[in-house]
Chains A and B, each alone.
Chain A
Amino acid sequence: MAKAALLLIVLALPLLAQAQTPEAQLRCESTGQDFVYDCTLMLTRFGRPLEGAQVTVGADMPSMPMAHSVRPARARPGLKPGEYKARLDLEMLGEWAIKLRLDGPVRDLLVLHYEFDSKGAMPRKR
């Protein structure tokens, strides 16, 4: 019995560990003002919406990571569970590394790569 329980725990460990890191999806639309975007974030953890997080959104240009950084903005909770909204004021179009600093129920830093154009943002493709 004890062996079976131990086996179950061992087998379940990878499942418990799976997606321990929160996952994020970003959608951004241009506000009409140059390089300013309204962004909606969906945060999940263990496949469920991550609620109650304090999210700060920053951005860096990958080719000059510490010089073209954008002043981080605090995201506010959206209407749906796990949804957060923030306004990004970038310096130019092109590829940006979006940095999401999470505090609260989980502490982490997620980095997402998006290509920004005059309409909005698309995930980077290589």
Chain B
Amino acid sequence: MDDYAIGVLTNIALFSFIALSAYLLLIAGEMSFGQQAFFGVGAYAGGILTTLYAWPLPLAALAAMALGAVAQFLVALPTLRLRGLHFAMATLAAAEMARILFELMHWRREIDGELAGPDGTQGFRGIRWIFEHGIEPLHYLGIVGVLLALVLALFLMIERSKLGATLRGVGLDPELAASVGIDVQRIKLGVAAAAGALAALGGVLYAHHNTYIEPRNFDIMLGVHSLAYALIGGLGTAFGPLLGVLLDIGALESTRVFHGYRMIVFGGLVALVLVYRPRGLLDERTVQWLRQRFS
């Protein structure tokens, strides 16, 4: 496999983490335009821990996930009182606040004779853990792929469990769910924390793949894409967001001949799917049909 193919596949896998975090909130009935903030929290936290404090990447990833979970829990605590578009706008505002905080963050130390660490708008260079540990791009793709497979397996287990049914119940009709004794607020707070942890995991992996991050990497474009992946792919199964990422990156990569205009393909894809398949290509009905057909 050449470097280009490895790069594209790694990008697909990295995008999938943030797409799955947006999907998790969507099935619980909440639309977030702010998952890029927690992706950024994970990227910065993981980068700081491995680069400035020499933590091993697995430990730094766990710490970043915990921080991502706490951050999204704290954002969800006041904003989950809002509904629909108001919640979406609140998450977008929170994400912009996070991006501005990244711009104001200066946390530099001398490492091996060179200054390293976040330097505001100049970004954070030298997140070189995978190079220092001799991890080749294909090996790193394998690590990211295995982590994604584990996350996906966890999603599929939850979706087949009582918790999965509860989540969908809360998402489809929170009042009805509350009337049968489900603590809707508690479930949604738990979902928000899990979505924050998942986005943060994607962020840590992204930072170490790229070696450089800056606040603009975590702006609204990433949030819109992550939400669009879940909506294009479908809300019937956790494979939906992955299908969304595959379709988008596949379409973008195969239409390079159109240069910058190829982003129109992405916009057109979102518009078409939202008109004809409001809950995505792999919506609940399609997934049910596929299960009946192949079981």
Q: Say yes or no for A91: interface residue by CB 8 A criterion.
A: yes
* B113 adjacent to A66 (CB under 8 Å): no
* A111 adjacent to B221 (CB under 8 Å): no
- A15: chain B residues at CB < 8 Å are 113
A75-117 vs B, CB cutoff 8 Å, 1 = contact: the mask equals 0000000000000000110000101010000011111000000
* B214 adjacent to A92 (CB under 8 Å): no
* A66 adjacent to B11 (CB under 8 Å): yes
* A63 adjacent to B221 (CB under 8 Å): yes
Q: Say yes or no for A71: interface residue by CB 8 A criterion.
A: yes
* A126 adjacent to B122 (CB under 8 Å): yes
Given contacts A67-B263, A101-B3, 18 further A-B contacts (CB under 8 A): A17-B112, A17-B113, A17-B114, A21-B128, A58-B7, A63-B221, A65-B217, A66-B14, A66-B206, A66-B249, A67-B252, A67-B266, A69-B7, A107-B131, A108-B211, A109-B212, A110-B211, A111-B212
Q: Say yes or no for B188: interface residue by CB 8 A criterion.
A: no
Asked whether A72 and B210 contact (CB < 8 A) given A35-B259, A63-B221, A92-B260, the answer is no
Q: How many residues of B contact A (CB 8 A)?
A: 36
Which residues on B are within 8 Å of A, measured CB to CB? 3-4, 7, 11, 14-15, 112-114, 121-122, 125-126, 128, 131, 134, 206, 210-212, 214, 216-217, 219, 221-222, 225, 248-249, 252, 256, 259-260, 262-263, 266
Beta-carbon nearest neighbor of A65 in chain B: B217
- A19: chain B residues at CB < 8 Å are 113-114
Q: Say yes or no for A56: interface residue by CB 8 A criterion.
A: yes
Q: Say yes or no for A18: interface residue by CB 8 A criterion.
A: yes
Could you name 16 residue pairs across A and B whose Cβ atoms are closer than 8 Å? A15-B113, A17-B113, A20-B114, A21-B128, A62-B214, A63-B219, A64-B225, A65-B206, A66-B14, A66-B15, A71-B4, A107-B131, A107-B134, A108-B128, A109-B211, A110-B211
* A71 adjacent to B126 (CB under 8 Å): no
B136 to chain A, nearest CB (A): 9
Which residues on A are within 8 Å of B, measured CB to CB? 14-15, 17-21, 35, 56, 58, 62-69, 71-72, 91-92, 97, 99, 101, 107-111, 126
A4 to chain B, nearest CB (A): 22
- B249: chain A residues at CB < 8 Å are 66-67
Contact of B3 among A20, A69, A72 (CB under 8 A): A72
* A21 adjacent to B3 (CB under 8 Å): no
Bound-state Cα–Cα, A92 to B256, Å: 12
Bound-state Cα–Cα, A76 to B210, Å: 23
- A72: chain B residues at CB < 8 Å are 3-4, 7
A66 to chain B, nearest CB (A): 4
Beta-carbon nearest neighbor of B135 in chain A: A107
Contact of B222 among A21, A58, A64, A108 (CB under 8 A): A64
Bound-state Cα–Cα, A63 to B121, Å: 13
Bound-state Cα–Cα, A19 to B111, Å: 11
Beta-carbon nearest neighbor of B219 in chain A: A63
A34 to chain B, nearest CB (A): 8
- B217: chain A residues at CB < 8 Å are 62-63, 65
Bound-state Cα–Cα, A15 to B11, Å: 37
- A108: chain B residues at CB < 8 Å are 128, 131, 211
A75 to chain B, nearest CB (A): 13
- B214: chain A residues at CB < 8 Å are 62
* A97 adjacent to B212 (CB under 8 Å): yes
- A65: chain B residues at CB < 8 Å are 206, 210, 217, 222
* A109 adjacent to B216 (CB under 8 Å): no
Asked whether A71 and B3 contact (CB < 8 A) given A62-B216, A66-B14, A126-B122, the answer is no
Contact of B216 among A63, A91, A101, A111 (CB under 8 A): A63
A116 to chain B, nearest CB (A): 12
Point out which of A66, A68, A91 has the most chain B C-beta atoms below 10 A from its C-beta. A66
